[in-house]
Amino acid sequence: MPSSADIHHLRNRIWLVAGMFIVLIFLFVWYVSAEKEINNANMNSFISLSLAILIAFVALGAFMLWTIRSIYLARVDAARKTAEDTLASTSQRLSNIINATQVGTWERNIQTGAMLINDRWANMLGYTIT
């Protein structure tokens, strides 16, 4: 599970992206309304502004994708950690049960014919594992 500091950091990044998006929308609206009043004399500055707004939108898109990727990776990492913890606790529990009950266990791989036995199982049949 991501820490509260990580979640707070991601939440702040999302608010920053939302704020940047709103500012860019206002710039775009201003750009569209100003386009009608442009004459040939200041066309170069208008083109420069157009490129600046386009670059800002591309940068915002990249930042948003980076934020979404960070959130996704935090969630995947939390799920992986939870799965690892569950597997470790289940494995430990099973080991404790086998040791406490002193049962003999064996596992057989039918495809390869390999067989894995514990010491107790061998002792029950009068064998020792070397």
DSSP states along 16-54:
HHHHHHHHHHHHHHHHHHHHTT--GGGHHHHHHHHHHHH
Structural domain boundaries in the chain: 4-101
With a pLDDT cut of 70, the percent of the chain lying above it is 82
Q: Which two tokens stand for residue 13?
A: 């990044």
With a pLDDT cut of 90, the percent of the chain lying above it is 27
CA distance 96 to 76: 30
pLDDT top residue among 92 and 56: 92
Its pTM stands at 0.53
